[in-house]
Amino acid sequence: MSSLIFMLFFALSFSVSTGSQRGILRVISGKDGEKPDFAVELNATNFDSVLKETPAPYAIVEFFAHWCPACRNYKPQYEKVARLFNGPDASHPGIILMTRVDCALSINSNLCDKFSVKYYPMLLWGPPKKFVGNGWDPKQENSEILAVEKGRTADILLGWINKQLGSSYGFGDGKYENEHLQRNSSDPAQIARGIYDVEEATSTAFGIILDQKMINSGTRASLIKFLQLLVAHHPSKRCRKGSADILVDFDNLCPSEIWSANNEEVDICSKKGALGNYQICGKEVPRGYWMYCRGSKNDTRGFSCGLWVLLHSLTVRVEDGESNLAFRTTCDFVYHFFVCEECRQHFHDMCTSVSSPFKKARDYALWLWSAHNKVNERLMKDEESPGTGDPEFPKVIWPPKQLCPSCYLNPGKTSDENSKIDWNKDEVFKFLVSYYGKELVNLYEDVKELQAGGSTQKTVNEELVASTDAVVVPLGAALAIAVASCAFGALACFWRSQQKNRKPRRSWN
pLDDT confidence of residue 411: 59
Least confident residue range of 87-96, 285-294, 380-389, 493-502? 493-502
pLDDT confidence of residue 262: 55
96's enclosing H/E stretch is strand 96-102
Give the count of beta carbons closer than 10 Å to the beta carbon of residue 79. 18
In this prediction, residues 27-56 reach a mean pLDDT of: 73
Q: Of the listed 71, 293, 404, 486, which one is catalytic?
A: 71
Looking from the CA of 212 toward its CB, the CA atoms found within 13 Å total 14
One-character DSSP codes across 362-422: HHHHHHHHHHHHHHHHHHHHHHHTTT-S-TTS----SS-TTT-GGGBSSTT---S-GGG--
On the question of pLDDT at 406 being above 60, the answer is yes
What's the CA gap between 248 and 334, in Å, rounded? 22
Q: Are strands 458-459 and 58-64 parallel, antiparallel or unpaired?
A: unpaired
Name the pLDDT band for 308 (thresholds 50, 70, 90): very high
One-character DSSP codes across 310-334: HHHHHHTTS-GGGHHHHHHHHHHHH
Clarify whether 343 is annotated catalytic: no
Closest CA to 313 of 233, 373, 372: 233
Looking at per-residue pLDDT, the higher value among 506 and 230 belongs to 230
Least confident residue range of 111-125, 206-220, 227-241, 383-397? 383-397
In this prediction, residues 133-156 reach a mean pLDDT of: 82
Least confident residue range of 24-33, 147-156, 247-256, 427-436? 24-33
What's the CA gap between 363 and 459, in Å, rounded? 36
pLDDT confidence of residue 280: 92
Closest CA to 356 of 364, 346, 366, 347: 364
Looking at per-residue pLDDT, the higher value among 115 and 388 belongs to 115
In this prediction, residues 291-299 reach a mean pLDDT of: 77
The CA radius of gyration of the chain, in Å to the nearest whole number, is: 24
Q: Is 51 helix (H, G, I), strand (E, B) or coil?
A: helix
Name the pLDDT band for 364 (thresholds 50, 70, 90): very high
What's the CA gap between 436 and 351, in Å, rounded? 21
pLDDT confidence of residue 457: 32
On the question of pLDDT at 332 being above 90, the answer is yes
267 within 8 A of 273, measured Cβ to Cβ = yes
What's the CA gap between 240 and 119, in Å, rounded? 42
What's the CA gap between 356 and 200, in Å, rounded? 33
Which residues fall within 8 angstroms of residue 175, CB to CB, at 6 or more apart?
89, 90, 91
On the question of pLDDT at 508 being above 90, the answer is no
Mean pLDDT of the chain: 75
Q: Looking at the chain, how many residues does it have?
A: 509
Looking at per-residue pLDDT, the higher value among 14 and 392 belongs to 392
Q: Which of 69-83, 167-181, 355-369 is most confident?
A: 355-369
pLDDT confidence of residue 225: 94
97 - beta bridge partners? 59
99 - beta bridge partners? 40, 61
On the question of pLDDT at 373 being above 60, the answer is yes
Q: Are strands 96-102 and 58-64 parallel, antiparallel or unpaired?
A: parallel
What's the CA gap between 296 and 177, in Å, rounded? 7
Looking at per-residue pLDDT, the higher value among 171 and 62 belongs to 62
Q: Is 481 helix (H, G, I), strand (E, B) or coil?
A: coil
pLDDT confidence of residue 222: 92
* pLDDT tens column, 177-194: 444 444 444 455 567 678
In this prediction, residues 236-244 reach a mean pLDDT of: 90
pLDDT confidence of residue 368: 95
129 within 8 A of 138, measured Cβ to Cβ = no
Q: Name the H helices within 54-143.
A: 69-85, 109-114, 128-131
In this prediction, residues 65-84 reach a mean pLDDT of: 90
Q: Quick one: what percent of the chain has pLDDT higher than 70?
A: 72
Name the pLDDT band for 413 (thresholds 50, 70, 90): low
Phi, psi of 122 (to 5 degrees): -120, 130
pTM recorded for the entire structure: 0.59
Clarify whether 71 is annotated catalytic: yes
Closest CA to 482 of 369, 260, 249, 321: 321
Q: Which domains does the chain have, with CATH numbers?
A: 3-12+471-507 (no CATH), 37-176 (3.40.30.10), 188-465 (1.20.120.310)
- The gap from C-alpha 293 to its chain's centroid, in whole angstroms, comes to 12
DSSP 39: S
Which residues fall within 8 angstroms of residue 313, CB to CB, at 6 or more apart?
198, 233, 234, 235, 436, 437, 440
Q: Which of 21-25, 237-241, 327-331 is most confident?
A: 327-331
On the question of pLDDT at 371 being above 60, the answer is yes
On the question of pLDDT at 348 being above 60, the answer is yes
pLDDT confidence of residue 418: 47
Name the pLDDT band for 26 (thresholds 50, 70, 90): very low
pLDDT confidence of residue 188: 56
Closest CA to 362 of 401, 400, 321, 334: 321
On the question of pLDDT at 264 being above 60, the answer is no
pLDDT confidence of residue 363: 95
In this prediction, residues 96-109 reach a mean pLDDT of: 92
Looking from the CA of 137 toward its CB, the CA atoms found within 13 Å total 4
Q: Are strands 40-42 and 96-102 parallel, antiparallel or unpaired?
A: parallel
Q: Quick one: what percent of the chain has pLDDT higher than 90?
A: 29
Looking from the CA of 152 toward its CB, the CA atoms found within 13 Å total 4
